[in-house]
Structure 1
């Protein structure tokens, strides 16, 4: 009986495929590696004429495996392109570097066959096709496609790893602490280890010790970073980010802000919002005036007309703009130290206290009060995004939202009136910056 089409060991590969690759069709642990991605991708056009062909594999090749022969040829006449193949650092990436630039405006085919004799136990790949660019002078230079934490990120974890993702494989010998450097706000070099993951074209810079909270850092990538052809970056790449502010310790005396809506530095706030400041104790409402509490436009310093409403049951001040705020605009809430508690204690900050936020752009959905973290082990950092279900409400949604908010407010007031829960002074819940 012909069982070549069968999969005796149920590993997802037919007996014939495993025989051709060189793995055991009767051993589920003996599985050929698979090609997980290719560069260029199938059908890609405008490919640079000096392109390096790359295959990513589902697992590292065994030590001792030899790079396979790539079959690259012109589709029109079958002319084979010569070059050299290599297994890259990590042994999960295989590359082919043509000996000379490819022809312009030309369709090429490429494929790779398994080579059991050299331990290249990989399922057959291709043929796939791509078309080269019309520009014969274009040179493929490595460039940073993405950086995390990105430019101007705030609230970045002090334990964050700085990662860069690249346009093509890099020469691992050019990836080091001499080409990737992190500086603190005094331009001191931050000691760090630099590692390269060729499978993802990613370089990680890991500080040896945690960065300082509330400080700005600059990352510089020098032009000495090369691709596999020896071409270096066209220009250095640099950007800055800021670590999360240190937690503020509640004072021994005097009132302080325990929470805010929106949170500090939030960047996707609805223009139709009420700013809320919750205090640690009962406040003297006569000091919560427009002279002591102001909502201003961050870019012009112009005061925004607003109504101030103090809820003595919740110890909360609501700042209600008389008109929707301007989209994609920075705003600051500034509270003077003249604000006092009902007991007569001064607001604990020395100088004015500030809350910063920015309204959403016209094309974005309405954001909530919190955003997801981008980098770092504690989930902090990055620019927050829209939470699930965000977007402009439909015609019938507004009445429902208002009704729900009203019900929640009534229930919240009733519960707090029945059970007065004091704020724990030792809990570092006050997360707002004073500047």
Structure 2
């Protein structure tokens, strides 16, 4: 868990085969998960000294992605704030067919989202495979190096990405009533978004007054956390203007707007959510066998959850897609699962009011040949 971010808390557990045992590693939901692998017994360290190595928690394009627009940049999200000056020399992009490095242009570090965006100097070659990497020269603000080099591959499309992104789901839902006054507002998108444009384009208002708060956006999700509790029994309008763009610079086709109403109790105070979320179902089901090696894990909750869930499968990162219409989180391994092994999985989610499940929900399944 990143102690520096108000948003990133423990969530998906690392999914590992039975031969290697269960461990926790997702930055958004598992108890005891801390970013990185720095070690120290602490006996001779000043109180509060950071000796934890940072880790990579999310990249775009994700490992194995095909049909990436030739105009698409790379993004790398970290478990904690990073030293901007250490990043440029640590990042490489190589055309795998020729072995030639790709010349990189601007490298933009977004400290609010702990996210670096890397722009190639020229459009990438069409229909080619590339390997991206960030090495251990990348450091956090305390000088701790990245825990290990992180590599991933992707394949470009025949041309540039010109498709506008869309908002695929959000919470609270349009027209929702009795919304808890302490809840954050969350959105999911059809593709990874430019975090800064989303932050600049989002507004929550109550009549004519704009609500102060902080927005974090990584990949295909964004969360707005109001600076103070919302007013009870009040109608709010959420607006994402069309100036929000995907990573290739394509804007939303139009402004996206919806409204919801907060609740109040009998005394006129706002409704406060103090109940942790629970898992209603998982897929593959507990004890499943002969599970396809390209399976996606789906966890259904009883309420909307915090969207920034990160984890690994056999050391490879995963993509997580949130659907607020169904209250599901879909975990997509970026590499095939191994054949005929039993995998252990766990999830410990936090809802948008900040309530965390007291214990992880754990289950096993076995892959087929």
TM-score (norm 2): 0.51
2:361 aligned partner: none
Matched, 1:147 2:147: no
What is the match of residue 95 of structure 1? Answer: 117
Q: CA deviation at 1:192?
A: 0.7
Structure with the bigger RCO (C-alpha within 8 Å, sep 6+) is 2
Match of 1:204 in 2: 224
The CA deviation string for residues 141-171 of structure 1, in whole angstroms up to 9 with x for no partner, is 5543442212333331233332334543535
Q: Secondary structure at the match of 2:71?
A: coil
The CA distance in 2 between the partners of 1:169 and 1:91, in whole Å, is 12
- The runs of 5 or more residues in structure 1 that have no matched partner are 1-22, 250-370, 377-381, 387-435
Deviation at 1:70, TM superposition (A): 2.2
Change over 3 Å in CA distance of 1:76–1:182 after alignment to 2: same
- Report what 2:244 is aligned to: 225
After superposition, give the CA deviation of every residue in 1:162-188 in whole Å (9 maximum; x if it has no partner).
233454353537624xx323345xxx2
Q: Hey, which of these two has a bigger chunk of strand by percent?
A: 2
In the alignment, structure 1 residue 46 sits paired with structure 2 residue 67: yes
State the partner residue of 2:255: 236
Q: 1:27 to 1:90 in 2, by over 3 A?
A: farther
Number of aligned residue pairs: 232
Q: Give the structure 2 partner of residue 123 of structure 1.
A: 147
Cα distance in 1 between the residues matched to 2:178 and 2:40: 54
Summarize the Cα distance change of 1:221–1:241 in structure 2 as closer, same or farther, 3 Å threshold.
same
* Change in CA separation of 1:244 and 1:126 when aligned onto 2, cut-off 3 Å: same
Does structure 2 conserve the Cα–Cα contact (< 8 Å) formed by 1:154 and 1:383? no
Matches within 5 A, 1:386-397: none
Contact 1:165 1:202 in 2 (8 A): yes
Residue 155 of structure 1 aligns to a residue whose secondary structure is coil
Question: Is contact 1:159-1:211 (8 Å) kept?
Answer: no
The structural deviation recorded for 1:40 is 1.8
Q: Is the 8 A contact 1:190 1:207 kept in 2?
A: no
Match runs of 1:376-391 below 5 Å: none
Aligned to 2:156: 132
Q: Show structure 2 runs of 5+ residues with no match.
A: 1-36, 43-49, 269-300, 307-323, 329-369
Residues 174, 219 of structure 1: alpha-carbon distance in 2 compared, 3 angstrom cutoff? closer
Whether the aligned pair in 1 keeps the contact of 2:198 and 2:240 (CA below 8 Å) is no
Give distance in 1, aligned partners of 2:163 and 2:144: 28
Partners of 1:384 and 1:75 lie apart in 2 by: 40
- Distance in 2 of aligned mates of 1:248 and 1:384: 32
* CA apart distance, 1:27: 6.8
- For the 8 Å contact 2:70–2:156, the answer to whether it is kept is yes
The alignment partner of 1:175 has SS state of helix
Matched, 1:82 2:82: no
8 A Cα contact 1:50 1:139, kept in partner: no
The structure 2 residue matched to 1:159, chosen from 182, 200, 222, is 182
Quick one: distance in 2 between partners of 1:133 and 1:226? 20
More helix by share: 1
